Structure 1
Amino acid sequence: MVKVLISDKLSPRAKEIFEERGIEVDVNVGLEPAQLKEIIGQYDGLAIRSATTVTADLLESAENLKVVGRAGIGTDNVDKPAATQRGVVVMNTPFGNSITTAEHAVAMMMAVARQIPQANESTHQGKWEKSRFMGVELFNKTLGLIGSGNIGSIVADRAQGLKMKVVAFDPFLSPERAKEMGVKKVEMDELLSLADFITIHTPLTDGTRNMINKDTIAKMKDGVRIINCARGGIINEADLLEALNAGKVAGAALDVFEEEPAKSNPLFGNDKVVCTPHLGAASTEAQENVAIQVAEQMADYLLTGAVTNALNIPSVSAEDAPKLKPYMILAEQLGSFAGQLTESGIKGIRIEFEGQVAGLNTKPLVQAVLAGLLRPMTDCVNMVNAPVIARERSIDVAEVKNDRSSDYHTLIRLVVTTERMERSVSGTLFGGDKPRIVEIKGIGIEAELTKHMLYTTNQDKPGLIGELGTILAKAGANIATFHLGRAEEGGDALSLIQLDAPIDEAILKEIRDLPLVSQSKLLHF
């Protein structure tokens, strides 16, 4: 039975969804790293928020783990390269808390513009300091968005409702999308020079760490106000404090910090800073949404193979998963066939999709081919980590799609280039869901790949089939099916023989020693 662990506090609805789908689920919140490591091997899935850290060390003990689901957007608490290397899918829920986080950013912008928290505290103390809390309007001000994805685009929409001008810096923002959003796309330096308010909506990466620092602050308008509800570490806090004290930055509103939980911070107590304890996604609606989404996504993957919002594998919708399933089997078999026959270094592969399959989502099929190809050569390979292993081995991967008509309504062809030769193998689906090999090295042959297959290449001369059958009969090896193909009369030929049980190396050697045989190998599928 599939088993999932919820290790962080999620809405009870997440547990209910897993159970409704027939998945066994344990809720164990607040585990120490050593405690989690001790039990993680029992589970196929791990559902987390921000409290649990999924490290490479933890993953070493997670021998059954197939998916980590993050209820929320940020996954910097998950070692994604290590997860990918181990073949573990990492998912998040990028849409469940987008509105809540965007609204919090707008609220923080208003709070820092009008000094609402400071005025609130002063008034509660019985003071009446109207002249002390002189704010600024948002109307007609310029808002600079750093990052214009799901959350940034919502903030832009809300800011335009407040009659603000919006400029955006985002390397992935197309001119068409900028026009659709009603924002002006600019480079970073131009944004810094134009913006009265700057709000950050980008993940924490090596490229964004300390993005806001003394050098970028120096390029900003005097009196700028900065809002960060994205990730701590994007702003260099020491440089921000210096700019606040110097008056260069008029105010900052921070929901995230370099170190969390932030029990102490040099910015705390500064009268120009509004702080909240990472509340961006903290609304009743958002917590319910992300819990439901992560449970549904993880259940879909574990039960049907559907992949949604994964960060290290192509997405496969629940609708597409059944359509792709027989193709996934075929793709992996083609890769496995070539991988088991390959005896020298692979330089590159080409995967050709013809006919009906060319119109499908072929990215998962490419990864299935790679997984099958590499499995005979390395341990612990699957669809998730196969592309990484291929890159590590400097294997070039090319994909070709062609919807032209051929002898088959749908066809996948794998061409493997090694240090010695080029080998091709093609397959199709019979009856819509039954994988079949239909061509090997340009020779037509129709065969189902089963558990024990004997593959031979030979010269097309009389007597070989009899000799081959005699050797197998003497060894007590029963032939289930026998498939033959040849390039031309008297030329190169091959056979695929389905056996009821494997044969030992001595029998294989006897077959290889036959004068007409050039290669013989036992294959397993």
Structure 2
Amino acid sequence: MKKALRVLIVDKLHESFKFNFLNKKIEYTYAFDWKDSDILNQIQNFDGLILRSRFVVDENFINYTQKLLFIARVGSGTDGIDKKLLIKNNIKLLTAPEGNRNAVTEHTLGLIFSVLNNFKKAQKQLANFEWKREQNRGIELSGKTVGIIGYGNVGKLLSKKLNALGCKVLVFDKRSKKQDSFAKIVSLEELQEKAQIVSIHIPLDDEINGENGNFHFADSAFFENFKNPIFFFNTSRGEVVNTTALLKNLKNGKIKGVGLDVLENEKLHTFAASQKEQFEELITMENVILTPHVAGWTFESYENLNKVLGKKINEFVKEYFQKL
């Protein structure tokens, strides 16, 4: 009978993991500085794996494992992880979406305030010694109708904060129909009819449509079906928005301003010619603010992700030994 589970940590974590992952039933091996080939050769000897995004967990990766019981991802998303394959191989997937939801929510609000109040344009003008107040008259968030697409951890917390700011919040979620006191659950059509500001918070993978099921969810038809011009924000996954459609509707006025923390391709040095052209257009627009996928990347969330995931790992290990 096993006395403890052997768990391999392959990505560098906040130093608090030493305290949050403490468990007499777990023996941790820290492989931050191991070569990928060494990890693949050794992983067959471990019961659990903790990672961020160092490996794509696909069939090729799983073939190196023999007795893996769980994979714990330090983050909220599951991109690059074949969940169906894990189920097939009876491997539990643990994630920590609760760990950075406040960080993502605050960043989203920051983008909204920045775009509504012309921060980028004003900063550029001031850098040129131009003091133009009227050109930078802002728009107040309070009283606006905000549409949230996706009502998971971030969507729910965002609706609570927006509600406190005096906004009317409409939510579309393909899975959730449960009402709460912070938002009204509506159809996508109703959201498109009434929303003035739209923030999208959906995963790339979708429980209903499968892997990459939300790819280009926000396409040309999506934007064109809004009754009124909107401000648009995405702090979820870049691939859920069609960049070509986004640019088209920015230029024709259907979209009045944009805040993006994510892009379809975030490896800037690998841009195709068309992607480079689109990026250069976006980065120079005065009503567009881009940030480098850092919405969930705060000092507090870095530590909190460990706390959340450590608790889930300990619960899994406790249940595992209780069943023996």
**TM-score (ref. length: structure 1):** 0.54
> 1:121 deviation in Å?
4.3
Query: Post-superposition shift, 1:169?
Result: 0.9
- Matched residue, 1:154: 157
2:239 is aligned to 233
Q: Which amino acid aligns with 2:149?
A: I
Q: Is the 8 A contact 1:212 1:235 kept in 2?
A: yes
Pairing 1:64–2:73 present: no
2:115–2:258 CA contact under 8 A, matched in 1: yes
Partner residue of 1:46? Answer: 49
Alpha-carbon distance in structure 1 between the residues aligned to 2:6 and 2:130: 58
**Does the 8 A contact of 1:227 with 1:252 survive in 2?**
yes
In the alignment, structure 2 segments of 5+ residues that lack a partner are 206-211
Q: Which residue of 2 aligns with 1:207?
A: 213
Partner residue, 1:425: none
1:130 aligns with 2:133: yes
Q: Match for 2:283 among 247, 251, 268?
A: 268
Is the contact made by 2:120 and 2:287 (CA closer than 8 Å) also made in structure 1?
Answer: no
Counterpart position of 1:255: 261
Mapped pair 1:305 → 2:319: yes
**8 Å Cα contact 2:159-2:183 kept in structure 1:** yes
Q: Deviations over 1:44-102 (max 9, x none)?
A: 21112244422221111011321111122111121111222222111111212122211
Partners of 1:15 and 1:122 lie apart in 2 by 48
Quote how far apart the aligned CAs of 1:39 are: 3.0
**Partner-residue secondary structure (3-state), 1:26:** strand
Number of the residue aligned with 2:226: 220
How far apart are the structure 2 equivalents of 1:116 and 1:73? 29
Give the secondary structure class of the aligned counterpart of 1:69: strand
Q: Which residue of 2 aligns with 1:141?
A: 144
Q: Note if 1:92 corresponds to 2:95.
A: yes
Contact kept? 1:244, 1:272, Cα under 8 Å: no
Amino acid at match of 1:191: L
* Change in 2 beyond 3 A, CA 1:273/1:64: same
User: AA paired with 2:316?
Assistant: Y
Identity of aligned residues (%): 27
SS where residue 233 of structure 2 aligns?
strand
**What is the CA distance between 1:125 and its match in structure 2?**
4.8
The answer to whether the 8 A contact 2:86-2:93 is kept is: yes
Offset at residue 26 of structure 1 (A): 2.9
Moved more, 134-143 or 260-269: 260-269
| Aligned partner of residue 250 in structure 1, secondary structure | strand
How much does 1:172 deviate?
3.0
Whole-angstrom distance in 2 between the partners of 1:62 and 1:30: 20
The 5 Å alignment of 1:74-113 reads: 74-113=77-116
* Greater relative contact order (Cα < 8 A, sep 6+): 2
- Per-residue deviation at 1:35? 4.8
The 5-angstrom pairing of residues 387-402 of structure 1 reads none
Contact 1:7 1:52 in 2 (8 A): no
Which letter does structure 2 place at the counterpart of 1:141? K
Q: Deviations over 1:221-243 (max 9, x none)?
A: 44311111111211111110111
- The answer as to 2:304 corresponding to 1:289 is yes
Q: Deviations over 1:280-328 (max 9, x none)?
A: 21122211111122123224323x226xxxxxxxxxxxxxx84xx3xxx
In the TM superposition, residue 183 of structure 1 has moved relative to its aligned partner by 2.0
- The residue identity in structure 1 corresponding to 2:256 is A
Q: Separation in 2 of the partners of 1:40 and 1:131?
A: 62
Contact 2:192 2:226 survives alignment (8 Å):
yes
Say whether the 8 Å CA contact 2:146–2:168 is kept in structure 1: yes
- Superposition deviation, residue 253 in structure 1: 0.7
Return closer, same or farther for 1:85/1:75 CA change in 2, 3 Å cut-off. Answer: same
The 5-angstrom pairing of residues 484-495 of structure 1 reads none
Q: 1:134–1:221: structure 2 CA closer, same or farther, 3 Å change rule?
A: farther
**TM-score when normalising by structure 2:** 0.85
Q: CA contact under 8 A between 1:18 and 1:24: conserved in structure 2?
A: no
> Which residue of structure 1 aligns with residue 208 of structure 2?
none
* Larger of the two Rg values belongs to structure: 1
Mapping 1:347-426, distance limit 5 Å: none
Q: 2:11 aligns with which of 8, 15, 18?
A: 8
SS in 1 for 2:17: helix
Q: Is the 8 A contact 1:144 1:197 kept in 2?
A: yes
Distance 1:9 1:54 in 2: 18
Give 1:34 shift: 4.2
Is residue 223–residue 250 contact of structure 1 (8 Å, CA) maintained in 2? yes
Name the CA distance, whole Å, in 2 between partners of 1:223 and 1:30.
50
**Partner of 1:359 in structure 2?**
none
Range with greater deviation from structure 2 (116-125 or 165-174)? 116-125
Counterpart of 2:189 in structure 1 is 189
In structure 2, C-alpha distance between the alignment counterparts of 1:49 and 1:193, rounded to whole Å: 39
Listed as ranges, the gaps of 5+ residues in structure 1 are 307-320, 330-525
CA contact (8 A) 2:193 2:228 kept: no
> Contact 2:262/2:292 (CA < 8 Å) preserved in 1?
yes
The secondary structure found in structure 2 opposite 1:212 is coil
Quote how far apart the aligned CAs of 1:156 are: 0.9
Q: Which has the higher helix share?
A: 2
Q: Is the 8 A contact 1:8 1:52 kept in 2?
A: no
Which structure shows the bigger proportion of residues in strand conformation?
Answer: 1
Preserved CA contact (<8 Å) 1:225 1:249: yes
The alpha-carbon distance between structure 1 residues 32 and 142, as it changes in their structure 2 partners (threshold 3 A), is farther
